[in-house]
Amino acid sequence: MCAAVVKADGYGLGLAEVGTALHAAGCTKFFVATIDEGIALRKTIGTSPTVYILDGMMAGDTAGEFASHGLTPVLNSPGDIALWGAHCRGSGDGASRSPDGGTAILALDTGMHRLGLTAAETKDLAGASDRLDGITLDYVMSHLACADDAAHPMNHDQRRRFNELRHDLPSAPASLANSGGIFLGPEFHFDLARPGAALYGISRSTGAPKKMKQVIGLKGKILQVRVVDSESTVGYGATRSVPAGSRLATVAAGYADGYLRSLGNSGHGYAAGVKIPVVGRVSMDLISFDISAVPVDTLSPGDNIEMIGDHQTVDDLADEADTIGYEILTSLGQRYARRYIGGDAP
């Protein structure tokens, strides 16, 4: 079975729209990071799907809030277990037993050293399993650190530790594979896979054996086209010089829109099927592209330059920015006009 990870506003693409589309496609289990994201998703997809909160119970969150919104916590610490268990047994902040039967996911740390019970905490829990009284474990889960590198020995080390740690715990279904873990093979799949980046067309950072279908396109509108009359520099810091006769298109986007500053003098776009370079620094609201290779009179103010699309994937742009596709997607700003297509998109 597969769940959908839609944290960080659906990886920057819109929690409501992404959640609605996935739910319409048959997804019944979702993961988000925080309780606020869970509440927002619940309002969008209704009461039927299960919504898991990966960050567990942050300071200020209460078990009663989780239960009242129909959200299921991932228990990452002995403190989380104590709070949720007390609530589920009717002795915590919710005043009565959780109406959903007290479901939760128990997270184990198998090498990431982020969230989840340590080996020592897991051993202690195994020796005092009454701490889980009232809690129904949907899954026991862990998270892979190096799944994007199929040859990394840590993948199999973590799978071994995961099996060892959960051996002494109450029996429950297991979940280990993120997007990259899915491509490591069936022995990593267990009972529930949790793809995130793979849902959005990211291939390189997931270890996918071939490029996946792109699900987004990004275009920038041209504000001005000009011909440089003499050799000149472009943009802040005068970091790039262009020869006389160069044609430049200034586009209404910048690092405030998530087109990363590191793409200055390294990024590319496409216009009329021609690859065109970013020249000069990316500024807050504007980008300059050298369109000298595009046939004259092909581009005018109001036309678009493709920044992500058929010619250039999210991964391609991430390579040029020296980052990963995750950062590209989650950085996309709200000033872009967004248009959702396919399925039941509005």
- CA-based torsion, 321, 327, 333, 339: positive or negative: positive
Catalytic annotation, pick one of 29, 123, 211, 236: 236
**Backbone torsion region of residue 183, taken as left when φ is above 0, otherwise alpha when ψ lies between -120 and 50, otherwise beta:** alpha
Backbone angles phi, psi at 120, to 5 degrees: -65, -40
- Please indicate whether residue 236 is annotated as part of the active site: yes
Q: Which of 208, 194, 113, 126 is nearest to 158 (CA)?
A: 113
Q: What is the DSSP string of 272-295?
A: TTEEEEB-S---SS-EEEE-TTSP
> Which tokens is 124 given?
């202690």
CB burial string 86-120: b at 16+ within 10 A, e below: ebbeeebebeebbeeebbbbbbbbbbeeebbbeee
Instruction: Supply the Cα-derived Rg of the chain in whole angstroms.
Output: 24
- Please indicate whether residue 275 is annotated as part of the active site: no
> Which tokens is 223 given?
């504000």
In this structure, which amino acid lies at residue 193?
A
Sheet holding 29-32, edge to edge: 4-5, 29-32, 50-53, 71-75, 103-107, 136-141, 174-175
Catalytic annotation, pick one of 7, 200, 219, 326: 7
> Which tokens is 148 given?
């994007």
List active site positions: 7, 236
